[in-house]
Amino acid sequence: MTDRGWEFATPGIPDDLFQRGQGPARVPMTKEEIRCLVIGKLRLKSDSVVYDIGAGTGSIAVEAALQAREGRVFAVEKEEAAVALIRENSRRFGVENIAVVHGEAPEALDGLPPADRVIIGGSGGRLEEILRVVASRLKEGGRIVVNAVTIDTLATSVKVLEELGFGEAGTVSLTVARTERVGAARIWKGLNPVCLVVGEKVMY
């Protein structure tokens, strides 16, 4: 890819435009169709402050930064190889409002400004702890979106958000399939199912 940024107003950057590393070292990445809905569920404003926890390649952070150009996106990631990819993908798409935070949540959130929006893509087995810390740092009216690949993540997210007073956590189940050519035919190839758990901090 020649570095040219993303010229469109909508999310949905094709997967192959992001750097992911090589071979077995390839970093997991949220796929294009899932990213579109994540960004939609976040309901970003132009000046939103966003935490992307477990940012991986930075694909969601990049999409969020393009939507919140006057805001700030904090891409929190503990893996060194992924941190390098976030920086590279930020450069490739010309976004300067991403701050890479190399560390493990929730400790890595210390010192960050209060958040308007939070995305949790990876938790390293510390999801409940992260949710409780994030809830205390989220502004009133703020939104959390959890990408749940496992049933355990889904159940924990719903339970903890409701315990924290986010009301009934909204859940969306996504099953995406793309066409793939096999010989002369085209077949459907399914991506891993994902659930999005969305919570909004109630304003009193």
Pairing of strands 138-148, 194-200: antiparallel
CA-to-CA dists, residue 128 to 23, 125, 135, 141, angstroms: 32, 8, 11, 21
pLDDT of residue 1: 43
For the chain, list the domains and their CATH numbers. 27-200 (3.40.50.150)
- pLDDT tens string 68-123: 999 999 999 999 999 999 999 999 999 999 999 999 999 999 999 999 999 999 89
Return the bridge partners of 120, or none.
53, 146
- pLDDT tens string 19-37: 998 766 688 899 999 999 9
Write down the pTM of the prediction.
0.93
Single-letter residue type at 68: A
